[in-house]
Amino acid sequence: MTTQPKMEIKELPLSDLKPASYNPRKKLKKGDKEYEKIKQSLLKFGYVDPIIVNEDLTVIGGHQRLTVLKDLKYETAKCVIVSLSKEDEKALNIALNKITGQWDDQLLADLLLDLQESDFNLDLTGFEPPEIDDILSNVHDKDLTEDDFDVEEELKKPTVARRGDIWQLGKHRVICGDSTKAETYDQLLGDKKANLVVTDPPYNVNVEETAGKILND
């Protein structure tokens, strides 16, 4: 049976910690994507993932958190102190940076969707928006099947859109309405909220389309 290393948790001055010169992770600076993710996580959830140091206070795991903590003016932080040989210290440094578990795609997608529907800022999860879209589409959209809607036949019919018309396109909704009126968003979104609205209303602009004039132009 492998002997477990001695371990204790202690509040330490950040100025006493010694970043490992051999640490293979790239150093972070303000503006780096990973830096900003760690910063936002610390601001939202606080310091909940302790830095790991050897008994001589060499940092084994948590170099990036240490950088951000210092920039956030932390003076001390609780650290996990272990007693390891230098060889084991270096091996653990690599393992902490490399070893990760695999996601259960279905559970991950369900969890992200649950947070998304509660209007939680998904940036705080560490995933990029394109990654989230891929996760959700790969799981929740994979069972979508084609219906018997005849696109070519429908295109032969006159196209008429009236104010208040709403089209459901998969997870997306499109409305014909006035973007300057609150009731348009109430009708489109119901009890949901939009994070951002970007509009380009053509009011008081002399636009002439070949298909016809714009209403109220």
Q: What is the DSSP string of 85-147?
A: -HHHHHHHHHHHHH--PPP-HHHHHHHHHHHHHTT--GGGGT--HHHHHHHHHHHHSTT----
- Dihedral angle sign, alpha carbons of residues 60, 99, 94, 65: negative
Q: Per-residue confidence of the chain (217 residues) as pLDDT tens digits?
A: 566 768 899 999 999 999 999 988 888 899 999 999 999 999 999 999 999 999 999 999 999 999 999 999 999 999 999 999 999 999 999 898 887 667 788 888 888 888 888 878 888 888 888 888 888 888 776 666 677 778 888 888 888 888 999 988 767 889 998 888 899 999 999 888 888 888 876 666 666 666 666 566 5
pLDDT for the residue 144: 62
Measure the CA–CA gap between 172 and 41, rounded to whole angstroms. 30
Are 90 and 28 within 8 A, CB to CB? no
Give the C-alpha separation, 174 to 164, whole Å: 10
The Cα 216–Cα 199 span in angstroms is 17
Look at the block and give the residue holding tokens 């578990």. 101
Q: Is the pTM of this model over 0.85?
A: no
Question: Domains in the chain, ordered, with CATH?
Answer: 7-98 (3.90.1530.10), 105-140 (no CATH), 151-213 (no CATH)
